[in-house]
Amino acid sequence: MKSRNMATALAWIVGLALCAAPSLAREPGEQSAASRTAVIALASREIDTREAAVAKALDVFSAEPGAEEYVLVKFPGPVTAAQVDALARLTERVYTYLPHDAFLVRMPLARQHELTDAAVGASWIGPYHPAYKISPAVTAAAKASAGAAVKTGGRLPVLLHLYPDAPLDDDPVLDSRGVPWPVFASLLVANGWFRDARGFKSTRHVLRAGVRLLAFIAAWIAAFAWLPTLPVALVLAGWVAYIAPKVRWVSREFQNVKVPSP
């Protein structure tokens, strides 16, 4: 009797397994197809276009002028050459392709409804949120390196990838015109103890370089006042010939370009 019950139970288990096998076999493919249809896979996160919260992403930064012009355009499947051409004609700029079957574009808000027309055939349009640019690795590194950053003077090295999805300020308002290039180059040389041009690690190094530069100038004035002029001039000329190539190299690296005053 016991063996008959065990056989019956085993038969039920095998039968249920056989019935479930086809659905289990279809599930990964179905999920993959559904993901491709509804998901935009950014480097920072995945955006599920089926979620209502995605449509409200623009509310966070809608006050920024022109922010609504940068949008994600999702297609229901692989795009055709005709769709790509139509998208390029309709938008001001197509920045990049995004998996799966999506693009980051810029176009006026008043015309964005045209993206869903038959010529383009987009299935979803959504705002490009600033948070989409921030890699999770940045947040993780900041938390993991909080203690280490304090030990290294509060600095955390990061790699920035700049996105061309916002207009650059061609005429920014500056609170200062900055230090004239000859003075700045002289401070760099002073920071390198007059043997090289060296960058500053902190504002204290700038102050120290300023003191060194004043002392350096005072020393040359004293040398010309108390020593024979010709030997002092030859030594100064030799030092200028030595340091000039280093200063020119720094000038090229800083892209020092003279701009006429307005």
Give residue 71's pLDDT: 87
3-state SS assignment for residue 85: helix
Give residue 170's pLDDT: 61
The ranges of the chain with pLDDT < 50 are 1-2, 7, 9-31, 55, 57-58, 60-63, 149-150, 261-262
Give residue 226's pLDDT: 93
Give residue 237's pLDDT: 92
Give residue 135's pLDDT: 74
Give residue 64's pLDDT: 58
Handedness of CA 69, 74, 79, 83 (dihedral sign): negative
Give residue 174's pLDDT: 58
Query: Quick one: angle between helices 181-191 and 229-253, nearest 10?
Result: 100
Cβ atoms 55, 79 nearer than 8 A: no
H helices within the chain, ranges in order? 2-38, 52-55, 81-90, 136-144, 146-151, 181-191, 203-226, 229-253
Reported as a single tens digit per residue, the pLDDT across 67-87 is 678 889 999 888 888 888 989
Nearest-CA neighbor of 132 among 78, 58, 212, 183?
A: 58
Q: What is the DSSP letter of 114?
A: G
Q: Domains in the chain, ordered, with CATH?
A: 46-133 (3.30.70), 181-253 (no CATH)
Give residue 12's pLDDT: 44
Number of H helices, E strands in the chain: 8, 6
